[in-house]
Chain A
């Protein structure tokens, strides 16, 4: 059985949880699991990767060219690793890094890429949502190497501790000279990360302005929740782009999702309908969000949200 190469998602300091979801998907395929960490001074993530349960080996490519995970530079490294190591699968979390990199790798290998899988049926057959999750396709690949991104909400995270893989240094391939990093503007938040949060409170156009989002933040703080948004709220500039939940934003599946002033367009539902419990607060009783909500409250959010926050405060 050929080995599986999982591409680590990391920020130079720590390993992102999406890597652990990808390891779980890899474990369902069968074969030794190796993790490739490409970065600059990325010993931290490499060590973390070596401790992940079920991982046989970590490959660390330390090169200044990999500092910002530019796909023009990282893809050739992945391709040479795959060819040199005889890998049958390349997996990564379907994060903005994985989605940027893996199709480039697949094309260089002249194989199809399989995006956003939600289940592994066998080593060559996978399930993936299409049409904003309104249909599930089962696809089989006959390519020699399967290049796959993994929907993180569909696979548990592998245990971060318990493994003791060796860390092997591999040579970097340097910069391709096609692209360079200029700057990043990262959203700072004390709250849990949207895709990993146990509770998510999301606001839509009904919030009316960014000035009203503190209402949701106060509620989120009571619940230890992350704050998300609909596309309309992001487009209108109420909150930054990385808050968007949906077909083309983030996919979340928390224990509890509270949709506030969100109508429930299919593109939004695509990003949250696998949540365990859904609550909707909307003043329009016909809003489609109520068709998926376990608990619907027809009310003006400006009254209901502060009330809910106060009620949770009382209950403590």
Chain B
């Protein structure tokens, strides 16, 4: 079974982002970029499926600017076999990405697509669900465990009340949550090897997909800042403040 893993290049999760003064967006120039953390987990899961003999080939895909090649190389260094860059500038909304991925799925015919549950820049949490809808496939979102069987996959999902397990007919879409696995670091030899792995570039046009955004971002602002309060010397003072000043207990 072939596994397709979409990976997004995002502002690194450690960066304290800055909103542009003109309200047009978030500063991304000269900011450290990395693979979306959930996508590292998705790649890791695919690599483990391959190591377990359940997957035969791992194809990673990124929709984004030329620099997204770096993200794809990272995925190749982690153990993916082949990469596709769908070169697109500007904002790519989940619906557009899902349509691009659908076009690639139709070409590549994977048995499983593993995405991250959420991109930490747009915080949308939509693309996997949308892709599953467009393909008419089952979706196992927010996965903390994945067991691939014969023609089906069991997915344990992190839900509001605890955990839920569903069974999906293959092919299917799965989105990775934080506790699915702990992604590996690419070793130096593997980083070197990844440079020679195939990376193909295509355009949304060539795939016949219109990626123009549906939403117009009118402005981006900073949220109201919380003022730091005071330090209290001891528990008794804390209780007193909570009672008489904050009046919350």
| Complex interface: stretch among B67-75, B189-197, B222-230 | B222-230
Contact, CB under 8 Å: B242 / A279: yes
- Describe A's contact surface by its main secondary structure: mixed
Contact, CB under 8 Å: B164 / A181: yes
Least Cβ distance of A141 to chain B in Å? 5
Q: Which of A107, A116, A133, A178 contacts B138 (CB 8 A)?
A: A178
Contact, CB under 8 Å: B162 / A129: no
Contact, CB under 8 Å: A114 / B231: no
For B228, what are the chain A residues with a Cβ–Cβ distance below 8 Å? 290-293
For B158, what are the chain A residues with a Cβ–Cβ distance below 8 Å? 96, 241-242
- Mark contacts of A157-197 with chain B using CB atoms, 8 A cut-off: 1 yes-contact digit, 0 otherwise: 00000000000000000000111111111110000000100
CB contact list, A271-316 vs B, under 8 A: 273, 276-279, 285, 290-299, 304, 307-308, 311-312, 315
Q: Which of B123, B126, B168, B230 contacts A178 (CB 8 A)?
A: B168
Contact, CB under 8 Å: B121 / A130: yes
| Complex interface: stretch among A21-29, A83-91, A210-218, A247-255 | A247-255
Cα A282 to Cα B154 with chains together (Å): 41
For A14, what are the chain B residues with a Cβ–Cβ distance below 8 Å? none
Least Cβ distance of B138 to chain A in Å? 4
Least Cβ distance of A72 to chain B in Å? 5
Contact, CB under 8 Å: A139 / B139: no
User: B94: CB under 8 A from chain A?
Assistant: yes
| Complex interface: stretch among A32-40, A41-49, A98-106 | A98-106
Tell me how many residues of A have a C-beta within 8 Å of chain B: 91
Contact, CB under 8 Å: A141 / B214: yes
User: A31: CB under 8 A from chain B?
Assistant: no
Cα A186 to Cα B230 with chains together (Å): 39
Kindly report which residue of chain A lies nearest to residue B11, judged by CB atoms. Answer: A131
Contact, CB under 8 Å: A298 / B218: no
Q: Which of B161, B165, B248 contacts A182 (CB 8 A)?
A: B165
Least Cβ distance of B227 to chain A in Å? 8
Kindly report which residue of chain B lies nearest to residue A294, judged by CB atoms. Answer: B229
For A179, what are the chain B residues with a Cβ–Cβ distance below 8 Å? 138-140, 166-169
Contact, CB under 8 Å: B231 / A290: yes
Cα A304 to Cα B128 with chains together (Å): 44
Contact, CB under 8 Å: B133 / A177: no
| Given A103-B133, A111-B214, A240-B162, A135 contacting B248 (CB threshold 8 A) | no
A/B interface sample: 15 pairs, CB < 8 A: A103-B129, A103-B133, A104-B130, A112-B93, A129-B123, A130-B121, A132-B120, A132-B123, A138-B217, A178-B136, A180-B167, A267-B13, A277-B248, A297-B234, A312-B249
The residues of B with any CB-CB pair to A shorter than 8 Å are 11, 13, 16-17, 19, 26, 93-95, 98, 117-118, 120-134, 136-142, 144, 154, 157-169, 172, 177-179, 213-223, 226, 228-232, 234-236, 238-239, 241-243, 246, 248-249
The residues of A with any CB-CB pair to B shorter than 8 Å are 68, 70-72, 75, 95-97, 99-108, 110-116, 125, 128-143, 177-187, 195, 199, 223, 231, 234-235, 240-242, 247-248, 250, 255-256, 266-267, 273, 276-279, 285, 290-299, 304, 307-308, 311-312, 315
